[in-house]
Each structure stands twice: as C-alpha cells, then as structure tokens.
C-alpha cells in the first residue's frame, strides 16, 4: 500500500507542472472529442508507466538498497529541477487529429518526464512494482484529466511560474529526508 501511495503522491506532484499536462490542456482546448483524448491519455499513461516500472524492476537486482536510495534522491532532485525550469508545450499551428500521433506524442512526453523517472527509481527500490505502476498511472491520468478540463487556463492558473515552486520545494524536502535515512 505504501508503494502505491508514494508513487501516487510523487507522480501527482511531478505531473502538475509537467510538459504533458500542458500539452493535454492545450490539445483539449483545440480538439472537440474529449472522450478520445481521455482514452488516448489513459493508454499513454499505462504504457509509459509500464515501461518505467519494468526498467526499474529489471535494474533492482543489480542495486544495493543504498544505491537504490541514491537513485531515488537523484530522481527527486531532477523532478524539482523540471518543476522549476519546465516550459509550456508548443503546439503545431494545425494540430493533427490522428489518434496515433496524439498517443505517440503523449507517450513520449510522459516517458521522458520526471514522473516516469520517479517511477523507475521507486520500482528499483520497492517490493511491489505493480502497486508502484498503478499509483503512477492513476496520478498521471488524474493530472492529465484535470489539465484537459482546465483547457487554456491550465498554464495560467494551475501551472503558473509561482505555483511550480510548491512541488519543487516538496521534492527537495523529500530528497533531504531520504538522504538523512542513508
């Protein structure tokens, strides 16, 4: 249960100022089919979390507990940097309405964000990688759906420059707490 909660909280915080949330918010403002966008977002969340957790689980036998904790500290610090230095997703002038292109763009955006690196580090550390993956999928999908509902207001109100410091500060605090346990 704690694996699920850690993954859920970390991915929720990492997804809030993420590039993928901004992309979904801007796509939902331009596309009329919300059901299609939400199903594609869910598919991208599931596949990207599965890849990250699979890679972390594959790496876990090669790591000692201390090395896995150092990997988690590194992931938390990178998540803080991404939260502070992140930028809005650029949309093409005429966005495609192709489901495959939208899914691929979301998948790549999710796979390369801080939330998936945190899932990778948690999967290398935890005993229940399936719970870690489930927490990451649910949190990421929740953030993407909130961004889709907010539309163009997402970047201005919910993911503004000032609010990005909140998850960054929480990530740095978590990294310090984990470092103190080494």
pTM above the 0.95 mark?
Answer: no
Per-residue confidence at 175, pLDDT binned at 50, 70, 90?
very high
pLDDT in tens, 11-29: 999 998 888 998 898 888 8
Instruction: Quote the pLDDT of residue 156.
Output: 79
pLDDT in tens, 93-145: 656 678 888 899 899 999 999 999 999 999 999 988 999 999 999 999 999 99
For 11, 19, 47, 84, 143, the CA distances from 87, given in Å and listed in that order, are: 18, 7, 24, 9, 17
Instruction: Quote the pLDDT of residue 99.
Output: 84
Distance of alpha carbon 52 from alpha carbon 48, whole angstroms: 6
Maximum CA extent, the chain: 50
Express as a percent the part of the chain with pLDDT over 70: 95
Phi, psi of 166 (to 5 degrees): -65, -55
């Amino acid at each position: 249960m704690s694996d699920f909660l850690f993954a859920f909280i970390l991915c929720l915080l990492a997804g809030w100022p993420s590039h993928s949330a901004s992309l979904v918010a801007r796509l939902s403002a331009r596309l009329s089919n919300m059901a299609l966008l939400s199903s594609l977002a869910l598919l991208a969340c599931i596949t990207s979390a599965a890849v990250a957790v699979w890679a972390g689980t594959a790496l876990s036998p090669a790591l000692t507990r201390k090395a896995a904790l150092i990997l988690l500290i590194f992931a938390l610090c990178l998540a803080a940097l991404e939260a502070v230095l992140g930028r809005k997703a650029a949309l093409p002038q005429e966005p495609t309405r192709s489901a495959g292109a939208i899914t691929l763009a979301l998948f790549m955006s999710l796979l390369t964000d801080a939330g998936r690196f945190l899932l990778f580090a948690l999967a290398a550390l935890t005993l229940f990688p399936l719970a870690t993956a489930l927490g990451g999928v649910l949190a990421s999908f929740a953030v993407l759906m909130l961004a889709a509902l907010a539309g163009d207001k997402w970047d201005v109100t919910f993911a503004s420059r000032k609010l990005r410091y909140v998850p960054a500060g929480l990530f740095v605090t978590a990294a310090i707490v984990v470092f103190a346990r080494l």
